[in-house]
Amino acid sequence: MIIRESVKVGDKEITIETGRIAKQASGSVLVSCGETMVLVTVCGNKEARPGAPFFPLTVDYVEKTYAAGKIPGGFFKRPRD
């Protein structure tokens, strides 16, 4: 089931959509504002580990600069013989 909600903030429209992308994740949300889009996913277990003294949480942030046409370090070059 795809759920999509939009809200206007100032002169921008922010759209939040879930249920269409990353269906294998425990949860996913696609947020868009103008030409900018962010995909947020979460994966987890349904059951807690017995005896765990804390709630382990890891956040991985990956910025894909090549999506904007910026390739860091230039192109890979083949060595000349």
Cβ density class 51-79: b for 16+ within 10 Å, e for less: eeeeeeeeeeeeeeeeeeeeeeeeeeeee
DSSP secondary structure code for residue 46 in this structure = S
**Euclidean distance between CA atoms 74 and 49, whole angstroms:** 45
Q: Check pLDDT > 70 for residue 74.
A: no
Decide if pLDDT at 68 tops 90: no
Q: Tell me what pLDDT residue 59 has.
A: 81
∠ Cα 19 34 39 (to 5°) = 35
| Residue-level pLDDT at 11 | 94
Sequence-separated (6 or more) residues with CB below 8 Å from residue 13:
6, 7, 33
Q: Give the pLDDT confidence of 30-49 residue by residue, as tens digits.
A: 999 998 899 999 888 888 78
The pTM score is 0.63
Q: What pLDDT does 54 receive?
A: 79
Structural domain boundaries of the chain?
Answer: 1-44
